[in-house]
Structure 1
Amino acid sequence: MTNYIPKSQKSDSIKELINEALDILQSVGVPLPAGLRGLEKMAMCFLAVAGVTKSWKEAKGQKENRHLKTREIIKFINENFEENISSGSYDDIRRKHLKLIVLADLILNSADNPNAAPNDPTRGYTLNGEFKDLIIFYNTEEWGIKLKLFVKNYPSLNEIIQRKRDLPKIRVTLPSGHILDFARGGHNQLQREIIEEFLPRFGEGCEILYVGDATDKYLLKQDDKLRDLGFFELSHDSLPDVVAYNPNKNWLFLIEAFFTSGPMSEERIIELKKSLKQCTAELIFITAFTSKMAFKKNISNIGWETEVWTADNPDHMVHFNGGKFFGPYSPNNSQ
Structure 2
Amino acid sequence: MTRRSRLETLVRDALCALAAIGIPLDGVTERRRVRMAKAFLSVAGMKPGMDWSEASADNRLRSRDVIRWMNQYLGEEISSGSYDDIRRKDLLLPVEAGIVLKSAGKVGAATNDGTRRYALSSEAATLLRSYRSPDWDVRLAQFLAGKEKLADQLKKTRLQGLIPITVGSSVLRFGPGEHNELQKAIIEDFLPRFGYVAEVLYVGDTEEKLLFVQANRLMGLGFFELSHNKLPDVLAYSGSKNWLFLIEAVHSANPITELRKRVLEQLTKECSADIIYVSAFLSRAAFRKFAREIAWETEVWIAESPDHLIHFNGDKFLGPHVSGNTR
Q: TM-score, normalised by structure 1?
A: 0.49
- For the pair shown, the structure with the greater C-alpha radius of gyration is 2
